[in-house]
Structure 1
Amino acid sequence: MTQTDDRTEQRQGAPRGGAHAEPRRFATATDFLDRRAAEATTGPATWGWRGAVRRMSGGLVSPAMGPAEAEHHDLRRRVQRDLDGPRTIAFVNPKGGAAKTTGVLAAGCTFGTVRGGGVVAWDNNETRGTLGIRGARAGHHNTTRELLEDLERFDQVGSSRIGDLGAYVRSQGDAHFDVLASDERPDVTGTIHADDFGAVHGLLERFYRVILVDTGNNMRAENWLAAAGAADLLVVTSTVREDTGYSGLWMLDALADAGVPDLKHRTLTVLSDPSPTVDKGLAADLVDVYEQRTRSVHRVPYDPALVSGSVVPYTELSRATQRSWLAACAAMADAL
């Protein structure tokens, strides 16, 4: 080999130590861009005294993020992670007052604002639920019932558009997610069946990346079972009350007895405080038992902004409540 050939091979990354030497590892263009993911949680501080020092010095002194700010950015990054297809999360507990609807709306606000859209919250109650009441209203009164009646509008995949769903879903404004309410007409009888769930779910999967399902209280209902079967993740919601916590555990027992596969790793728990003070012993017991039964448990503090039973004012929630839901949604994204 000539000296010129040798220099050429070195420039091309050929090993210099003979045929058996390890080739040099060069950073690829993708590696170059991926470095930003790490920088997002290690960049200059904007919070607290660190951020104040940076601003006052005009950036000449630029402390790194503190632990709390770095964790916040990491949680946001996890919520924003790419998914390789639509994902469905069902919020479940067969007892009323278990914070299912509150949880769906809080998760909708979190996923919607942090991911930037592509999220729908669906009230899959077999008759009438309250998700439509607690979400922002729209200029129409259409619900799942009307969508079922008009499904033929979406038969042609090539010509149907997400904008056409605007006649049935309700935009939640700055929260960047939509709500599909359950039937609200008092003159209509009948329930939502498994086939109905499948038809609507299949349509929503065409247009949304994250589908949050608010379930009813009858886990023997066809649409409840269909939602549990279709969900990529189950979120057990409970308050720090013995009856609500028992109900969720009873449900997990029933699902395990029914042979639901990989139940522990397909389920996580959100445990909310129903009042400013709760029984700490009961809270510890519930965390312990649900940690045994589900992949993780996430505590949400009491927030007076949620007690009215009206629209969930996400921007008025306390910083602690918003952070708790950010952590819970990050865990949901991890599970997906």
Structure 2
Amino acid sequence: MPKRAYASSGRTAAGSGDGPAPTGPVEERPVVGDAAPDDHPAVPLNAGVVPPGPEELPPPGPPGDPRAASASELTDYTIVRRRSDRPGYGWRRALYVVTGGTVNPGIGSAELRRQDWARRIRRQLPGPRQIAVVSMKGGVGKTTVTAMLGLTLAEHRGDRVIALDANPDAGTLAGRLTGKSDSTVRDLLDNIGSLRSLSDVARYTTLAGRLQVLASEQDPARGEAFNRAEYEQVCAVLARFYNIVVTDSGTGMVHSAMDGTLALANSLVVVGSLTVDGASRASKTLDWLVAHGFEEMVARSVVVLSSDRTSREIDAGRLRAHFEGRVRAVVEVPHDPHLATGARIELSSTSRATADAFLELAALVADEFGGLPLPRP
């Protein structure tokens, strides 16, 4: 029973004739459940009100309404005050360190862009998201883009991100990220009925930094059996435990698994290269998608042009202008000696220009996550 509070019967109002008047100002202290004037009895505020059951509670308010707040918003990015004017790179940082902080030239425009990209990457998610990385031509860097995009998202976000290799032809995503693939998506499918928790799923994944990786089947004979229905089964399980799934698709656009990839994708990244064949294949990928009913997704997609294999004779400006007229954004990835080796990828070993390109790509992808962006640090 809630405790009811009533006005005291011995309380005397200021200025009444029932006692000596106070000599100084009297502070009125409100009493919970106090009656208004003397001619009305005191009634508890909650009298006759039945608390609503769980099913009767009002829905949370719109974005910005205090009722819409949740504990997930209390992160170090939102409540810790940071010195965003402290330079972190280049001569500005060197000058700041040498002078012990007494001379602070501030941060430059490049670092301001990085801060903005990182803020956009941390955008809140309304639900699990599927990001498909596609190309109908191999050898243009599709797996590299998938790996770097997954690593960048996982590095800058606090939720769970997984990279899925849906290539039916012995994909190399796990090899590029972890150097091994003891368990594969086929092993997960064989035991999908017993997956009840995150730890159950983690038995079939490997870890690269903060990114989980689910390898494709390395036996081509078994890999061909990976069809749309099985891909949807895998994604249904991953969506229960992971916030973002980045899929490295195969090169066969008419393959059944590709059909499932496109059907479930929320965002699309199309990979090409700064060569005649690489760029034309990327453009033909867009043509195929439009012809098969994905016009809206193409308009929202991002094209990545890799410079791992290019020539000075290529007019990169014209290629970029061509794709900018067809998609939402274009990102050029510079040649990077570390990525060009085809060996295991270490995020810290890439160049600053390469890291910036994938920061921009991750920010562009995160722009579609929905919800309100987190405030600037």
1:319 aligns with 2:352: yes
Amino acid at match of 2:108: G
2:324 to 278, 291, 306: 291
Amino acid at match of 1:208: Y
Alpha-carbon contact 1:305-1:316 (below 8 Å) kept: yes
Q: Could you report, residue by residue, the CA deviation over 1:104-132 in whole angstroms, capped at 9, with x for unpaired residues?
A: 11111111112145111111113421112
Partners of 1:331 and 1:305 lie apart in 2 by 24
Alpha-carbon contact 2:120-2:367 (below 8 Å) kept: yes
User: Could you tell me which residue of structure 2 aligns to residue 225 of structure 1?
Assistant: 259
Alpha-carbon contact 2:130-2:267 (below 8 Å) kept: yes
Alpha-carbon contact 1:116-1:176 (below 8 Å) kept: no
Deviation at 1:335, TM superposition (A): 2.6
Alpha-carbon contact 1:272-1:300 (below 8 Å) kept: yes
1:273 aligns with 2:307: yes
Partners of 2:117 and 2:318 lie apart in 1 by 27
Alpha-carbon contact 1:41-1:73 (below 8 Å) kept: no
Amino acid at match of 2:190: E
Partners of 2:151 and 2:159 lie apart in 1 by 10
1:78 to 120, 134, 140: 120
Q: Could you report, residue by residue, the CA deviation over 1:51-84 in whole angstroms, capped at 9, with x for unpaired residues?
A: 4454455445544322122211111111111111
User: Could you tell me which residue of structure 2 aligns to residue 170 of structure 1?
Assistant: 206
Deviation at 1:312, TM superposition (A): 1.6
User: Could you tell me which residue of structure 2 aligns to residue 248 of structure 1?
Assistant: 282
Partners of 2:273 and 2:298 lie apart in 1 by 20
Deviation at 1:133, TM superposition (A): 2.2
1:87 aligns with 2:136: no
Q: For residues 40 and 88 of structure 1, do their structure 2 counterparts lie closer, same or farther at Cα, with a shift above 3 Å needed?
A: farther
Deviation at 1:184, TM superposition (A): 1.4
Partners of 2:190 and 2:334 lie apart in 1 by 41
Deviation at 1:258, TM superposition (A): 1.6
Q: Could you report, residue by residue, the CA deviation over 1:204-263 in whole angstroms, capped at 9, with x for unpaired residues?
A: 111111111001011001110110111111101111111121112112112112222413
Q: Output the aligned Cα RMSD.
A: 2.9
1:136 aligns with 2:178: yes
Match runs of 1:78-117 below 5 Å: 78-116=120-158
2:189 to 144, 148, 155: 148
1:328 aligns with 2:361: yes
User: Could you tell me which residue of structure 2 aligns to residue 23 of structure 1?
Assistant: none
Amino acid at match of 1:223: A
Amino acid at match of 1:307: A
Alpha-carbon contact 1:117-1:176 (below 8 Å) kept: no
Alpha-carbon contact 2:168-2:223 (below 8 Å) kept: no
Q: For residues 188 and 80 of structure 1, do their structure 2 counterparts lie closer, same or farther at Cα, with a shift above 3 Å needed?
A: same
Q: For residues 53 and 307 of structure 1, do their structure 2 counterparts lie closer, same or farther at Cα, with a shift above 3 Å needed?
A: closer
Q: For residues 67 and 291 of structure 1, do their structure 2 counterparts lie closer, same or farther at Cα, with a shift above 3 Å needed?
A: same
Match runs of 1:27-106 below 5 Å: 42-106=84-148
Matched position secondary structure for 1:238: strand
Matched position secondary structure for 1:183: coil
User: Could you tell me which residue of structure 1 aligns to residue 11 of structure 2?
Assistant: none
Alpha-carbon contact 1:146-1:168 (below 8 Å) kept: yes
The answer to which structure has the higher helix fraction is 1
Q: For residues 229 and 186 of structure 1, do their structure 2 counterparts lie closer, same or farther at Cα, with a shift above 3 Å needed?
A: closer
Deviation at 1:182, TM superposition (A): 0.7
Unaligned runs of 5+ residues in structure 1 are: 5-27, 155-159
Partners of 2:223 and 2:232 lie apart in 1 by 20
Deviation at 1:86, TM superposition (A): 1.0
Alpha-carbon contact 1:240-1:278 (below 8 Å) kept: no
User: Could you tell me which residue of structure 1 aligns to residue 14 of structure 2?
Assistant: none
Deviation at 1:284, TM superposition (A): 1.8
Partners of 1:169 and 1:105 lie apart in 2 by 15
Partners of 2:83 and 2:230 lie apart in 1 by 44
What is the count of residue pairs matched by the alignment? 302
Matched position secondary structure for 2:222: coil
Amino acid at match of 1:335: E
Amino acid at match of 1:299: E
Q: For residues 265 and 41 of structure 1, do their structure 2 counterparts lie closer, same or farther at Cα, with a shift above 3 Å needed?
A: farther
Q: Could you report, residue by residue, the CA deviation over 1:271-313 in whole angstroms, capped at 9, with x for unpaired residues?
A: 11024754341x2222111111110000100011122222122
Unaligned runs of 5+ residues in structure 2 are: 1-24, 26-65, 370-377
Q: For residues 246 and 40 of structure 1, do their structure 2 counterparts lie closer, same or farther at Cα, with a shift above 3 Å needed?
A: farther
Identity between Structure 1 and Structure 2 (%): 31
Choose 297-306 or 268-277, whichever is displaced more: 268-277
